[in-house]
Amino acid sequence: MQTITRHGHRLAYHATEGRGPGLVFLGGFKSDMNGTKAIALENWARANGRAFLRLDYSGHGQSGGSFEAGSIGDWLEDARAVIAHATTGPQILVGSSMGGWIALTIARDDPDRVAGLVTIAAAPDFTEDGFWAGFTETERVQLFETGRVAVPSDYGDPYIITRHLIEEGRSRLVLRDPLPLPMPVRFLQGTADADVSVETAIRLLEHADGPDMRLTLVDGADHRFSTDDLLRLVEASVEEVTARGRHVAT
């Protein structure tokens, strides 16, 4: 494990040397860099001689900081800091769930550093369109009065959603403003995903603007997207965007 420090927080990451363009895996909300998809993709990258980076945002996994104190902007800047520190040249970003939102933002804001983009059940704007939109009026009042609401999770303990997460997330939304993606992009989405809907994936495809974007819907796949067949699909998507390269100057 390697670390850097940002704003007093130790950020943990693993970097594997190899040829470029390197791969960067960006995980989801409250996940860590030791998940099935991250490790499987690292093994594939190593077997193919490709550089690879996986990381933990602050408050996640082996990194320092408090999860409840964090926000989309914090985790975005964590990812940017580790990528800048640990990689050289354009990278292929592989973003899962919230990591898809972070990857989309990096690709929009710094396209010269992004050779290609693969998202897995991307969850852009989920703080607003997921949590906030799904809160009852009572929960919204509680959020403003106490600063937090507990939301049940299928993955363990309830999520603690803070007022800061919701309000800061509104400054990071990507589906309300232009979203240029001038690199090869592959969106992957399962039809049985209970956390991110097919409608969200289609909305993202229709909203983004790029010369080489494709959405693949996998019948019956859930949000984890981690069976052997689905992991092979992620790897094939990485190979495809690598082969196609950049088509539009930025």
Of 106 and 157, which is predicted with more confidence? 106
* Interacting residues of 225 by C-beta distance below 8 A, sequence separation 6+: 37, 96, 120, 121, 188, 190, 193, 218, 234
Q: What is the pLDDT of residues 120-131, one digit of tens each?
A: 999 999 999 999
- Domain layout of the chain by residue ranges: 2-125+177-244
The per-residue pLDDT for range 163-196, each reduced to its tens digit, is 999 999 999 999 999 999 999 999 999 999 999 9
Whether the Cβ atoms of residue 174 and residue 124 lie closer than 8 Å to each other: yes
So what's the pLDDT on residue 43? 98
Is 0.85 topped by the overall pTM? Answer: yes
CA 196 to chain centre: 13
Has residue 246 got a pLDDT over 60? no
- Whole-number mean pLDDT of the chain? 95
Q: Tell me, what's the pLDDT at 156?
A: 74
Residues 6+ apart with CB under 8 A from 16: 42, 45, 46, 51, 52, 53
- Residue 249: what pLDDT? 33
- 81-101: pLDDT as tens digits: 999 999 999 999 999 999 999
pLDDT of residue 157: 82
Asked if the peptide bond before residue 158 counts as cis, ω within 30 degrees of 0, the response is no
2-125+177-244 carries CATH number 3.40.50.300: no
User: Tokens in use for 138?
Assistant: 């009572």
pLDDT (0 to 100) of residue 153: 80
Which secondary structure element, helix H or strand E, spans residue 22, and what is its range?
strand 19-26
Look at residue 69 and tell me whether its pLDDT is greater than 50.
Answer: yes
CA distance 43 to 175: 33
